[in-house]
Chain A
Amino acid sequence: MNSPGERDEMRQDALQEILNISMGQAADTLARLINERVHLSIPKLHTVQASSLNAFGKRLLRKPRGTLTRQSFNGLFRGEVLVCFEQGACHAKLANCMGFPDEPAGGRTSELTLELTNLLASACLKGVAEQFEGSLRFGPPSILSTSVTVIDYLERLKPLWKEALFMEISFSVDNLEMSTDLLICVAGQDTDELWSGVDRLLGLEAT
């Protein structure tokens, strides 16, 4: 029998492995979709206390400021994906790859940003759901702010959660000056479903 500490470590390692595999698949899918070489970083797991968002900010690999979008998901477990598109990034160059007639302007830029959010969130979480042998459903994405960092935004809120699990992933595309950061967030009260999925995979259900 493993001690609670050991079990937590095993769970974290397993989740990390699940995420690593998922990101590999996601990068491949996205590359096929937009016909460009795509890079997704190895996900970094953060357990975050709402009372110490500042400390979380320091642990983040990057702190881009730009358009912040969100998309909720539920099913196997529930949470939200936050995507921060760095200001000045040439997302518009992706427009053609994604079937937009020309470099979109105005409302169409927002549409492209939202669709990118949808693609990234779906691609990154698809592999996770598959490995858990379950499914996830996504709500429509929306724009939270157009000039903000994730930490700035979260600090402005009075979060309903005390603790949450954040999975940090960076996304970049070859030949395009853009880099985008993605956070898969699961509030503390919703992590049980996630961890029980991990436990099933690890065969720890009985413990």
Chain B
Amino acid sequence: MKHAHSEVIEQLGLGILIIDAQFIVRYANPFIENNSKQKSLAGKSLFSLFPELPQVWLRKRVESVLMLDNTTYTNWHQRPRLFDFPSSRPITGSARLMYQSCSIFKLKSAEKDDLVCITVYDSTPTAVTQQRLQNSLKRLDKERNYQVELNRKLEETQSQLVQSEKLAGVGQLAAGVAHEINNPVCFIKSNVECLRDYIGKLQSLIKHYDDLLDASLTPELKVKRDQVRQSLDMEYVQEELPEILDETDDGITRIEGIVGSLKDFARLDSGQWQYADLNEGIQSTLKIVHHELKYKVREVEQDLGELPKVQCIPAQLNQVFLNLLVNAAQAIEKTGSIKVTSCHMPERASVVLTFTDTGCGIPASKLDKIFDPFFTTKAVGKGTGLGLSVSYGIIQSHGGTISVESEPGEGTCFRIELPVEQDNH
């Protein structure tokens, strides 16, 4: 059996190294010899054979093992190895050296000095598997974080969509209201025209009567007539009537303008690709946002050049103009101005629109993020809900580009370039 024991130790896939209290090797099995590529280790100093060993630490461990008569362990996880043995997976492994889990324990000996046994277990396969698992876990964790981020973005998009739908709803309502207002305005306008005609006729009738009465009335009756005229303030009434009618006409024209702008803006009947004058779109949008701009914007300078009709979905582009104008107004802290320009670039078969404000500007660190589909500096639900991301999406769907230049404290300029013709529509 003794022979069998030695045979087992020789064949074991486990390193066995026996040292004495002076750290002289007494025995090393073939596992140790083969991996260290050294023969006849017995009788040599452990630390000269294996200079990589942490001497102070190992001496302390051996001391505690001898004192407590216990076993102490090292695990590849915390201490990858004690001995610089080559990896047992030179082809399929990813590390050059072997991962080891070791144990150190006292051997009771018949000799005067106690002996210490160090076993070396090759943990490379476990380590490789565990590291793969760790990598998979890291990847899964990364993917999970990505999913969480996606979900967050999805929620934000949903929220933006809800806002966008609300705005579309408001647009629809506005167009509906505009249509309903348009009918009474039409007959008010027509009636005012009639009124003007009838009042003119009544005034010439009065004048005719006056002429006749002047020739036929007695002085007493003339005085009486003048008294009646004065008591009714007829002179003032006759003077005021045309002015009142002019002002009414003016009011009606303004109502017609607003109604027209609302309809133009919503373009509910024309969510289709069509050729449209973008200058008209800008102007109708300016009318819509007038109320939003009037408190902060001293002046909206318009430098609109002659543009060809551009193939587009006008309602969508109007939403972009609205968004840029409202953003511009919001960027102005107290008072400032906005400049809108348009020009045709025949050589590029495109039109270029710019929206410049004298607002607070955008810091350089945020400039490259403002078109990020989910970047916002405002609370969700604030503003129009159609963020720059939506504008970006609309311009992209028109085959155009939108870019920004900004100087903090000076202002911001958005530049849109749109092709005159679409390739696919």
Contacts and interface: CB of A to CB of B under 8 A. Distances in A.
A138 B69 CA distance: 11
B69 A126 contact: yes
Contacts of A115: 61, 72
Contact of A99 (B60, B73, B78): B60
A111 B74 contact: yes
Interface in B96-124: 101, 103
Given A99-B56, A107-B77, A110-B78, A122 B70 contact: yes
B197 interface: no
Nearest to B77: A107
A99 B68 contact: no
Sort A-B residue pairs by CB-CB distance and give the 5 closest, nearest first: A99-B60, A122-B70, A111-B78, A99-B57, A140-B73
Nearest to A110: B78
B68 A107 contact: no
A99 B74 CA distance: 14
A122 B77 CA distance: 22
Contacts of B64: 33, 119
Interface string A122-139: 110010000000000110
B54 interface: yes
A171 to B, nearest CB: 15
A98 B74 contact: no
B62 to A, nearest CB: 10
B79 A99 contact: no
B71 A138 contact: yes
Contact of A126 (B57, B63, B68, B77): B68
Contacts of A108: 78-79
Contacts, number: 58
B67 interface: yes
B35 interface: no
Contacts of A119: 64, 68
Given A110-B77, A119-B64, 13 more contacts: A33-B60, A33-B63, A99-B57, A99-B60, A99-B61, A101-B54, A101-B56, A108-B79, A111-B75, A114-B73, A118-B70, A126-B70, A140-B103
Nearest to A104: B78
Interface of A: 29, 32-33, 98-101, 107-108, 110-111, 114-115, 118-119, 122-123, 126, 137-138, 140-141
Contacts of A114: 73, 75, 78
Nearest to A142: B75
B59 interface: yes
Nearest to A135: B69
Contacts of B72: 115, 118
Contacts of B54: 99, 101
B75 A140 contact: yes
A108 B72 CA distance: 15
B133 interface: no
16 contacts: A29-B67, A99-B56, A99-B58, A99-B61, A100-B57, A111-B78, A111-B79, A115-B61, A115-B72, A118-B71, A119-B64, A122-B68, A122-B69, A122-B70, A123-B68, A140-B103
Q: Which of A98, A110, A118 has the most CB of B within 10 A?
A: A118
A29 B58 CA distance: 18
Q: Which of A110, A111, A123 has the most CB of B within 10 A?
A: A111
Nearest to B61: A99
Q: Which of B70, B79, B101 has the most CB of A within 10 A?
A: B70
Given A107-B79, A111-B79, A114-B78, A138 B70 contact: yes
Nearest to B58: A99
A120 to B, nearest CB: 10
A138 B103 CA distance: 11
A141 B72 CA distance: 9
A111 B70 CA distance: 17
A141 B101 CA distance: 12
A41 B188 CA distance: 101
A98 B64 CA distance: 9
A137 B59 CA distance: 22
Given A107-B78, A111-B75, A114-B78, A33 B57 contact: no
B101 to A, nearest CB: 8
Contacts of A126: 68-70
A10 to B, nearest CB: 30
Nearest to A136: B70
B247 to A, nearest CB: 79
A105 to B, nearest CB: 11
Contacts of B56: 99, 101
Interface string B76-94: 0111000000000000000
